[in-house]
Amino acid sequence: MRKQIAAANWKMNLTYQQAEQLMTDLLNTPHALKEHQLAVFGVPFPYLTMVAEKLKGHAGTSVAAQNCYTQKSGAYTGETSAEMIASVGVQYVILGHSERREYFNESNQMLADKVNMALQYGLTPIFCCGEPLSIREAETQNSYVEVQLRESLFHLNAADLLKIVIAYEPIWAIGTGKTATAEQAQDMHAHLRSVLAAQYGAGVADKISILYGGSVKGSNAAEIFGKPDVDGGLVGGASLKADEFVQVIKGLK
């Protein structure tokens, strides 16, 4: 079975003290991860080492940065490189989140450069793709998301592509309370896998975890994750509540 992943994305939330308390509450709430399951915590940069320290000894858990820059080092005040992230023991990095694309004008080419840097320093990118409401209403979401994959990932060889986790996030369902139906999520995930298969072969495509990100919560996680091509979720608001995120974890296949 493909790795099933519950990935928390805290975004720009919580003070250090609140983050410590949330991690304590999460780790004290009973939940067991199976061998093929993983909980990843995408936290703000100041909290990476604290969260990594708290996760020590907890099998099936890892920490993720929420972004990295396109360059190894240099005069880029305020940016953080993949090398820096890796040097503090972090294993994952979220790239191409819709908020980064929209608010910071991150292009598909920029994200290709970030993916390259992440892989160079041994980080696993959680690569986000997805369409806004206008594209969904025009029913062109399949081709829109395919372009995102092609322009940011398809320069990779198969061995490197297998190091990527993909997260599909319908932008119209993030923080709006709207959620794609489990069937809509499955349809897009199956399309993404078919695009990967056409480029790299079914054997490669079938090994890549594709997460759903769009108002996932404890009450709908199991239904969404139960679909054959949905391998977990990238979870925003629900990851800021210990009991809620534990329910999401329990929803994994």
pLDDT in tens, 108-144: 999 999 999 999 999 999 999 999 989 998 999 999 9
Reported as a single tens digit per residue, the pLDDT across 3-25 is 999 999 999 999 999 999 999 99
pLDDT of residue 128: 98
Higher pLDDT, 158 or 175: 158
54 is in which domain, residue-wise?
Answer: 4-250
Q: What is the CATH number of the domain that holds 107?
A: 3.20.20.70
| Mean pLDDT of all residues belonging to the chain | 96
- Residues involved in catalysis: 97, 169
pLDDT of residue 180: 79
SS3 37: strand
Environment class of 32 (CB within 10 Å of its CB; exposed 0-12, middle 13-18, buried 19+): exposed
Using a pLDDT cut of 70, give the percent of the chain over it: 98
- Which stretch of 52-61, 105-114, 166-175, 244-253 has the lowest confidence by average pLDDT? 166-175
pLDDT of residue 238: 95
Number of domains the chain is built from:
1
Closest among 144, 188, 182, 133 to 166, alpha carbons compared: 188
DSSP lists the bridge partners of residue 16 as none
Residue 100 CB contacts under 8 Å (≥ 6 apart), including other chains? 67, 106
φ/ψ region of 139 (left if φ > 0, alpha if ψ in -120 to 50, else beta) reads left
pLDDT of residue 133: 87
When pLDDT is cut at 50, 70 and 90, the band that residue 32 belongs to is: confident
pTM score, whole prediction: 0.96
pLDDT of residue 175: 66
pLDDT of residue 177: 67
pLDDT of residue 152: 98
Contact 7, 211 (CB under 8 A): yes
What mean pLDDT do residues 92-109 have? Answer: 97
Reported as a single tens digit per residue, the pLDDT across 38-53 is 999 999 999 999 999 9
